Chains A and B, each alone.
Chain A
Amino acid sequence: MSLVEGKAAVGMRAPTVLTLGGAAFIADPAGALFREADRLLVVADLHLEKGSSYARRGVLLPPYDTRTTLQRLARLVARYAPHAVLALGDSFHDGDAHGRLDVDDRAAIADLQRGRDWVWVTGNHDPAVPPGAGGTVAETLVLGGVTFRHEPGGTEAPEVAAHLHPVAKVRLRGRAVRRRCFVASERRCVLPALGAYAGGLNVRHGAFQPLFPDGLTAHLLGEERLYSIAGPLLVPD
């Protein structure tokens, strides 16, 4: 057709920066944190092989979740060229998940790990990461004055954590939009899940309140940027 073509004007926006105890992180709309100072990329809750975990129980979900998740991760690595990647736990959906990885997916992980530090932080789904997964394994990690762990709620501040798979829902003029999001205050940040089949927990759920007693801001993942929203515009599911 000969309609006048033109991309909707999207102004070049500065990336959303979250500041935690003096450390600045770029929050990427794909759902990752990046710290320029030490070129550290942080991702959370990959839940690799969740699809095949369902398949074992007779629910034959499309077996492309691992591939999708790793492609997301690969795009982030290409964008930031990090010196180190931190996977904040529940990287593998269950104890056998690593063993079920497809040859190609295994190779994709090895490619991503090449030439940089790689840390698997353990989570409740993957308390023991097999040695074959490459990289190193840690329970918690303190880097540049920030504590990184899977489950939020440590006493050390500032803290970057995962586990809850936060999503936020915004309702306006009769329409509701539900998206994965970062949840942040000045002393804590919870990352959204990166896994293709990872579900979400609404930020209005009681689990978030004790972690953010002074209120929280949700940074919802958009196509090209984050949307930062707090208060009554965030509705429960």
Chain B
Amino acid sequence: MSDRSLPTAAGVLPARFAAWFALRGWSPRAHQLVLLEKARAGRSTLLVAPTGAGKTLAGFLPSLVELAERDGEEREEPALRLHTLYISPLKALAVDIARNLEVPVAEMGLPIRIETRTGDTSAHKRARQMVRPPDILLTTPEQLALMLAHRSARELFCGLRRVVLDELHALVTSKRGDLLALGLARLRALAPGLTAVGLSATVREPEVLARYLAPGAEVVAAAGGARPDMRILETAAVLPLAGHTALHAMGEIYAAIRAHRLTLVFVNTRMQAEFVFQELWRRNDDGLAIALHHGSLDAGQRRKVEAAMAEGRLKAVVCTSTLDLGIDWGDVDLVVNVGAPKGASRLMQRIGRANHRLDEPSKAFLVPANRFEILECRAALDAVAAAAQDTPDARAGALDVLAQHVLGVACAEPFAADALHAEVVTAAPYAGLSRADFDTVLQFVATGGYALTAYERFAKIVHGKDGLWRVANPRVAQQYRLNVGTIVEEPMLKVRIAKPRRRAPGMPGTILRGGRIVGEIEEYFAETMSPGDTFVFAGEVLRFAGIVENEVVASRTSAGTDPKIPSYAGGKFPLSTFLAERVRRMIAAPDDWHRLPEQVASWLEAQRRRSRLPGRRDLLVETFPRAGRYYLVAYPFEGRLAHQTLGMLLTRRLERARLRPLGFVCNDYGLAVWGLADIGAAVASGRLRMADLFCEDMLGDDLEEWLHESALMKRTFRHCAIIAGLIERRFPGQEKTGRQVTMSTDLVYDVLRRHEPDHLLLRAARADAATGLLDLKRLTDMLSRIRGHIVHQSLDHLSPLSVAVMLEIGRETVYGEASEAILAEAEALMIEEALA
């Protein structure tokens, strides 16, 4: 290996370990030894290293050395204390790491007990672990929260020496990261001798991540690996202006798979995964072992694919972000990324899945699916070449998560508010938490925190005469245990293959039950389908028959049936601000177009000629008539979520201005609104000013009004209510038994919004809306950026760029105004039928 110049190795590494390294033919890497030194000095450390740098061993080495050096008495003591806690975002990763760790322990004959604890661990074993813990326990953030809420948590953790956090960059960007940060703060309070080790891929601001790990933690960066060998897949075909299928490139992808040992084909959505899988098999004359892996597939099926990969029995796996993280399933030598990468750091992560040997380059092909995506791929390649990262900013801790944590602490032992507040602000996401907000959370946990104090007698935690808060009764702890964690699944429906049968004409069809379950899809996706629609799932074309209770019933179709390609829905990652800025810059600089494929350059040239180019800081808005409708197309480049929110607000304003909008669609780059009135003419006559239409004041009353009925906002509220413990995960209304009168959290949202708009849960939901499904923060930033920079181009025909957005019509869900319009239309349809 490369690091030969390590004079300290002999001094730092005990003989037994040095011998083991030698036996394996390895020499310890510099960062591994540095971590060992830091641990000896009692320092917490963040290790930033590329894949294949021996991160895991570096993280555990200090623990192994310390445990090996225990004297005989400590070792023989029967009620051993937990020494090291390892936390991973994936339970499969925890299990995998445990297995890997057993190797050096066994080969050196170290007297160290290693166990895992996940949701799959038996209740009996988990109970035993609380009393008689192993030396090293590998687990997940949710299990940590559960252990911390246990009455013997203090006893279990008081001797804890080290905590190792794996894939830390992936953990910290979500509410899971908030909960983990609070758990770490708790651990530091329980175990004064604790040091933390964080393992992370390269991030934009390692210091911020180190601060998350522990106050005063230091950053150690391992030398980077070889530069990845990546390029945009050349294609002879004419690239489409829109769409995400990359159908034109399937032949080339297939050829690349054939030429490599094991290829991972990453796509952005489940729908794309299904489509690409189908298309590859359509071409699979060689009968290559190509498998499919995405989060909605049955877990058993996913395990089978993973095992086959590990055993080297597969040639390629088509997968979504489910395989983004850490597990080495096999000897991958090529990564193909279909569609736009959406973020430079995400792309690096994915490429890192190929080739785990540090000194050999990972190989990757990017396959843009349309012309906009070529620009995005180009921008991502430039960013990667410049080693520029676009990992998200550190988050401010969510209040709903804090509420969950406070209840967990109370379940473990009585606490004093002052002490807990002091502890909580040592967690980086909560460093800025005011005492007033902390007290609000405390009141929420106790009695719901309502201005109308109606629930004193039903309090969950009570303030005792001794000044301590404690749980009111044991049932509260039971409730907490059922509700722990921050992952709220979208309501999912199982997909069952069955044969539909028709009853008497005019009656709703009955559906034969009893077929095989092939996986799950989101309820909201199922809602968009009508009986008879065909869709691709689990690698097959299925015909939707209906929803029966909590299952989607579908039938197989005959060979060769074309799926009615469903919407792109489920693209979780919007274009990063960073890449968007690079794409805008590229479009605005015709001198650089020679770096783009000829067909893209000429497309941009046509745009310049027939309309104009969106500027780097401008917002280009085009208006034009087409086929009896009037269109407005804008290019903010802020990602689908922000565009969706913008579209909702714009249609509201146009409606009020009596410009009769009918609907809109959007993609990551722009949005198109159409209606019955001539928007361009309204601007020309001075009836409408673009600056007013895109004015930031839309984030005031218009937004409030829309939030009132927005399904996305209600979904966000439901997540917060569950995480904060207001309602249980199995709250009626989330279970579709179809047999009972069900109540939904939407009713709770409506009532709370009317009577206490500043309630903690609504504040939490609004904070989520800023970054989550509504991406309000990005929209706000954009509106302020373009103030005074709106360029309106009135056209008499559509423009080359607009085509790419307009082609989404029919592919994407079309958004309309409020639900009243749908009802009115349904009623009109009925009357029409009756008169016909």
What residues make up the interface of A, taking CB atoms closer than 8 Å to B? 1-6, 8, 52, 55-56, 58-65, 67-68, 102, 164-165, 170-177, 179, 196-202, 204-205, 220, 222-223, 227-233, 236-237
Are A62 and B752 in touch, CB under 8 angstroms? Answer: yes
Q: Which residues of A contact B738 (CB under 8 A)?
A: 202, 205, 236-237
Nearest CB of chain A from residue B381's CB, rounded to whole Å: 36
Q: Which residue of A lies closest to B460 (CB)?
A: A58
Q: Which residues of A contact B123 (CB under 8 A)?
A: none
Q: A228 is contacted by which of B450, B695, B731, B827 (Cβ under 8 Å)?
A: B827
Tell me whether B527 is interfacial, beta carbon within 8 Å: yes
Tell me whether B759 is interfacial, beta carbon within 8 Å: yes
Are B658 and A233 in touch, CB under 8 angstroms? Answer: no
Interface residues of chain A: helix, strand, loop or mixed (majority): loop
Q: Which residues of B contact A56 (CB under 8 A)?
A: 458
Q: Which residues of B contact A58 (CB under 8 A)?
A: 458, 460, 475-476, 479
Q: Which residues of B contact A2 (CB under 8 A)?
A: 689, 692
Tell me whether B106 is interfacial, beta carbon within 8 Å: no
Tell me whether B819 is interfacial, beta carbon within 8 Å: yes
Most buried by B among A61, A170, A197, A202: A61
Q: Which residue of B lies closest to A193 (CB)?
A: B741
- Interface residues in B754-792 (C-beta closer than 8 Å to A): 754-756, 759
- A-B contacts, CB under 8 A, total: 157
- Expressed in whole angstroms, the Cα–Cα distance for A86 and B823 within the complex equals 29
Q: Which residues of A contact B235 (CB under 8 A)?
A: none
Q: How many residues of B contact A (CB 8 A)?
A: 65
- Expressed in whole angstroms, the Cα–Cα distance for A5 and B476 within the complex equals 52
Q: Which residue of A lies closest to B567 (CB)?
A: A174
Are A222 and B823 in touch, CB under 8 angstroms? Answer: yes
Q: Which residues of A contact B752 (CB under 8 A)?
A: 62, 64
9 further A-B contacts with Cβ under 8 Å, apart from A4-B687, A174-B528, are A55-B455, A61-B726, A63-B452, A68-B755, A175-B816, A179-B823, A199-B733, A227-B824, A227-B826
- Expressed in whole angstroms, the Cα–Cα distance for A220 and B824 within the complex equals 10
Closest 6 pairs between A and B when the two form their complex, measured CB to CB: A199-B743, A60-B448, A63-B454, A64-B755, A177-B819, A227-B823
Q: Which residues of A contact B731 (CB under 8 A)?
A: 59
Are B747 and A199 in touch, CB under 8 angstroms? Answer: yes
Q: Which residue of B lies closest to A55 (CB)?
A: B458
- Expressed in whole angstroms, the Cα–Cα distance for A227 and B447 within the complex equals 40
Q: Which residue of A lies closest to B728 (CB)?
A: A59
- Expressed in whole angstroms, the Cα–Cα distance for A174 and B814 within the complex equals 8
- Expressed in whole angstroms, the Cα–Cα distance for A66 and B450 within the complex equals 15
Q: Which residues of A contact B824 (CB under 8 A)?
A: 227
Tell me whether B487 is interfacial, beta carbon within 8 Å: no
- Expressed in whole angstroms, the Cα–Cα distance for A170 and B455 within the complex equals 38
Q: Which residues of A contact B830 (CB under 8 A)?
A: 228-231, 233
- Interface residues in B141-186 (C-beta closer than 8 Å to A): none
Q: Kindly specify which of B393-401, B605-613, B625-633, B649-657 makes contact with the partner chain.
A: B649-657
Are A52 and B454 in touch, CB under 8 angstroms? Answer: yes
Nearest CB of chain A from residue B14's CB, rounded to whole Å: 53
Q: Which residues of B contact A170 (CB under 8 A)?
A: 822-823, 826
Q: A1-B692, A6-B656, A177-B819 are in contact. Are A64 and B742 (CB under 8 A)?
A: no
- Expressed in whole angstroms, the Cα–Cα distance for A236 and B824 within the complex equals 19
Are B742 and A200 in touch, CB under 8 angstroms? Answer: yes
- Expressed in whole angstroms, the Cα–Cα distance for A65 and B450 within the complex equals 13
Are B530 and A171 in touch, CB under 8 angstroms? Answer: yes
Q: Which residues of A contact B816 (CB under 8 A)?
A: 173, 175
- Expressed in whole angstroms, the Cα–Cα distance for A223 and B824 within the complex equals 11
Tell me whether B751 is interfacial, beta carbon within 8 Å: yes
Nearest CB of chain B from residue A28's CB, rounded to whole Å: 16
Q: B751 is contacted by which of A1, A55, A197, A236 (Cβ under 8 Å)?
A: A197
Nearest CB of chain A from residue B710's CB, rounded to whole Å: 13
- Expressed in whole angstroms, the Cα–Cα distance for A96 and B547 within the complex equals 39
Tell me whether B433 is interfacial, beta carbon within 8 Å: no
- Expressed in whole angstroms, the Cα–Cα distance for A60 and B756 within the complex equals 14
Q: A59 is contacted by which of B657, B727, B755, B814 (Cβ under 8 Å)?
A: B727
What are 22 A-B interface contacts by the 8 Å CB criterion? A2-B692, A4-B657, A6-B658, A58-B476, A62-B755, A63-B452, A65-B751, A170-B826, A171-B530, A172-B825, A173-B822, A177-B819, A177-B822, A177-B823, A198-B741, A220-B823, A227-B824, A229-B826, A229-B830, A230-B830, A236-B546, A237-B738
Are B448 and A55 in touch, CB under 8 angstroms? Answer: yes
Are A3 and B693 in touch, CB under 8 angstroms? Answer: yes
- Expressed in whole angstroms, the Cα–Cα distance for A56 and B475 within the complex equals 12
Q: Which residue of B lies closest to A199 (CB)?
A: B743
Q: Which residue of B lies closest to A176 (CB)?
A: B527
Are A63 and B450 in touch, CB under 8 angstroms? Answer: yes
Q: Which residues of A contact B454 (CB under 8 A)?
A: 52, 55, 63, 102
Nearest CB of chain A from residue B78's CB, rounded to whole Å: 39
Nearest CB of chain B from residue A59's CB, rounded to whole Å: 6
Are B822 and A223 in touch, CB under 8 angstroms? Answer: no
Q: Which residues of B contact A165 (CB under 8 A)?
A: 741
- Expressed in whole angstroms, the Cα–Cα distance for A226 and B389 within the complex equals 54
Nearest CB of chain A from residue B546's CB, rounded to whole Å: 8
Are B822 and A175 in touch, CB under 8 angstroms? Answer: yes
